[in-house]
Amino acid sequence: MRRELTCIVCPIGCSLTVTDKENGELEVTGNRCPRGAAYAVEEITAPKRVVTATCRLGPAGACSESDSKDPIYQRMRRHGLCDPRRLPVKTSAPCPKEYIDELLSEIYRTQVNPPVRRGDIIIKNWKNLGLDVVAVRALD
């Protein structure tokens, strides 16, 4: 078996070739660094991707607390056109491709109530695959 693929670990995108050796091992050529070799093997045997997505935010769907007493805050709240309605998240490690659709469904269903810190774990060790879903933005 001989397969050609493009490495996606970094923006260079080396053209890799993976060959089956007689002893059953996989040989990778064309990589400029060891991460590429590891990627190629994984891509052939167990392809994975880092997943980024968004969760629903808070009860009122926006950065809430409309009963803050600060008058300037009040005026800002009224004009909350820039308030995000979603919290961006990412997986702490790549997710096996065959599970991505299921993971996305769960992430979209998940609601997070502010305040959130960057790095907060939203879903811990999903399906025991050793990956967390973490917030990538702070919102309060």
Partner 1 sequence: MTTTFTHNLNPDLTTLPGTNGIPDYDVAIIGCGVSGANIARRLSAYKVKVAVLEKAADVSFGTSKANSGIVHGGFHHNKKYLKARLEIQGNLMFDRLMRELDFPFKRCGIIVAALHEDEMKAVEHLYMQGVENGVIGIELCSRERILELEPKLSPDVVGGLYAPGGGIVEPYRFVFALVESAMKNGVHVFTNYRVEKAERDVPRNKWLITAADGRKINARYVVNAAGLFADEVSRIFGGESFTIKARKGEYYLLDRLTKARPERVVFPVPTSVSKGMLVIPTVEGTVLVGPTADITESKEDFSTTSERLEQILDSGRKMVPSLSRNDVITNFAGLRPVLEEDFYIEPSKVTPAFIQVAGIQSPGLTASPAIGEYVKDLLKNIGLELTEKSDWDPFVERRPRARELSPYELDALIAKDPAWGNMVCRCEQVTEAEIVEAIRQGHTTLDGIKYFTRAQMGRCQGGFCTFKIIKIIMRETGLSYEEITKHGGASRVLEGEL
Partner 2 sequence: MKELRYDAVVIGGGAAGMAAALEIDKAGFTCAIVEREDHLGGILMQCIHNGFGLHEFKEELTGPEFAERFAEQVAKSNIKVYLGTTVTDINVQTVQYEKELICASPDHGVLKITCKSVVLAMGCRERNRGNVRIPGSRPAGVYTAGLAQRLVNIEGYIPGKEVVIIGSGDIGLIMARRMSWVGCHVKAVVEIMPYPSGLTRNIVQCLHDFNIPLYLSCQTTNIFGNDRVEGVEVTPMENGALVPEKAFRIDCDTVLLSVGLVPENELSKDAGVELHPTTNGPLVDASLMTNVEGIFACGNVLHVHDLVDWVAEESRFAGKQAAAWLRGERPLHQVRVKAGPNVRYVNPGKLDPSRDNKVYLRSMIVKNDAVLELRLDNRVIKTIKKGHIQPSEMITLSIGPKELEGYTENSALELALL
Does residue 79 bind partner 1 (CB under 8 A)?
yes
The entry of partner 2, partner 1, none near residue 8 (CB within 5 to 8 angstroms by kind) is: partner 2
Site map for partner 2, 51-70, x if CB under 8 A? xxxx-x--------------
78: Cα within 13 Å, side-chain hemisphere: 5
Pick the stretch among 2-10, 35-43, 78-86, 132-140 that binds partner 1 (CB under 8 A): 78-86
Residue 61 is classified by DSSP as: S
Task: Look up residue 45 and give its two tokens.
Answer: 């045997």
Site map for partner 1, 37-76, x if CB under 8 A? -----------------x-x------------------x-
54: Cα within 13 Å, side-chain hemisphere: 10
Measured distance CA(127)–CA(19) in Å, rounded: 32
124 neighbors 132 (Cβ within 8 angstroms)? yes
Residue 60 is classified by DSSP as: T
Give whichever of 7 and 18 is closer to partner 2, judged by the CB atom: 7
Between the CA of residue 15 and those of 28, 29, 38, 123, what are the distances in Å? 10, 9, 14, 35
Give whichever of 23 and 43 is closer to partner 2, judged by the CB atom: 43
Does residue 113 bind partner 2 (CB under 8 A)?
no
At residue 54, what is the residue type? T
Does residue 50 bind partner 2 (CB under 8 A)?
yes
Give whichever of 93 and 124 is closer to partner 2, judged by the CB atom: 93
Nearest distance from residue 2's CB to partner 2, in Å? 18
